Chain A
Amino acid sequence: METRRDVFQAIADPTRRAILTLVALGAMTPGAIAEQFKSSRQTISKHIQILTECELLKQETAGREIYYHFNPQKMKEVQDWLQPFIKMWDDRFNKLEEIMKPFKK
């Protein structure tokens, strides 16, 4: 498996998805994020690094603390990729339903 640094790879991991869910609620320090998980701090730190590289998280420094913010714009990329495909099937299925309605007893 090549290391892709894109949104898709970022959200492929359940721990990373959980981190995103947390940070989406409000900016957090790496320590506060790590406290929420059973995994080692090192593991969580690696996940945070990947999420940052994929631009799903943004770093901000406040005094001596680093805070991570969620970047919703990036998440939209996943949605954008699937959207036309979903729309195509939804249109087809709506049409199927329409066509079959007259056959209902």
Chain B
Amino acid sequence: MRKPNGLSRRGVLAGAAGLVATGALAACGSNTGRGSSGGGSGPTIAQWYHQYGEAGVEQAVKRYAKAYSKANVQVQWTAGDYDTKLATALVGSGGPDVFEQSVAKVDQVRAHQLADLTDVFGAAKDDFTPAVLDAQTVDGKIYGIPQAIDMQMLFYRKSWLAKAGVSAPTTLAELASAAKKLTNKKVKGLFLGNDGGAGVLGAVPLWSIGQGYLSEDQRKVGFEAEAAAPVFAALRTMYSSGSLLLGAPADWSDPSAFTQGLTAMQWSGLWAVPVVQKALGNDFGVVAWPKGDDSGKPSVPIGAYASTVNAKSRHVDAAKAFAKWLWIDKTGYQRDFDLSYGFHIPARTSIAAKADKLSSGAGKDAVDLVQRYGKVQATPGWTSPMNTAYTDALNNIIRKGSNPESELKTAIGKIDKQLRTLYK
């Protein structure tokens, strides 16, 4: 029977069912980046990027994807915790076909998540910076095409240091002393992140005393608790001295604490140079992390995002062909990606050599630091659980004041257990 308003019960039910079905379908669809508005013909492949801070990069990578004619490439730009989202997506079948990550991890290779890209390099292999290529190499096979090199360094305000009678620090003791002298009621001396450097410094304190995460062959723990304890104790002393900026609205990767005058020195990265230059002109300098003792060296961590292919992709060959086209054949795109928006060192030495931005000022200083002291922080053998064990120890030592030696021994035990699982 038709109701006075013209709606029958059957009609209402059908409509409701339709709505529910539509909602369910919408809710069930996992967004892998595959859509219908691609540029080319052929298979549709999803390419994932993490969110770059520089304006224009997103548009640029979408432009590159659209220019590819042999596949319909859909770019997904991921804000927030990209690494966790990627790790979860790679477990299932809804992951991306091509994605970027900074290191090819041994456990990913063991889980057959990464496609072997060794054969796509050809003669271009020798043009890539060896250190960042090593970060993509497991058992002699290459799993990622490096796109850009980034590095971290210490920014300092030249005029403020001069006024306080402090020179750019070259040792950890000098850094602690300078931070204290530069601290006053309104300004803190040093910003190493809101956790006092526990998260970002990573292997840097170990390098500064001549040690590292893992041994050369990646199969043993590369540091000793007794020898490493003093440098972490020094970081704790600095943390509790009141000269570190803690709890800034933006963390270490954003130079705003430095440009807003909240701190006189800040640990940040090459990408921050344009923003700092715009805010402070030439009133800033950059140095490496100072050495911890006479057995160590100044430290500059470098890393490189690389383009990787999901081994579980339905279009592995198409994805490999696209990655090769974008990051090996089209050298102009790498130049544009690295130098037109922010400040990155091209992974290919031939492109880096011609980069004007890197031939003067802070850019040149940064390149010099990379050449003299640059080391890749994340290596294939250093897995996430190992990193968690290590950063837990740093958090407990630096922020909680726990005993450095016992914390490092606990971390070494956990890392050693992981290594035994990996290489059993």
- Do these two chains interact? no
A→B interface (CB under 8 Å): none
Residues of B within 8 A of A (CB): none
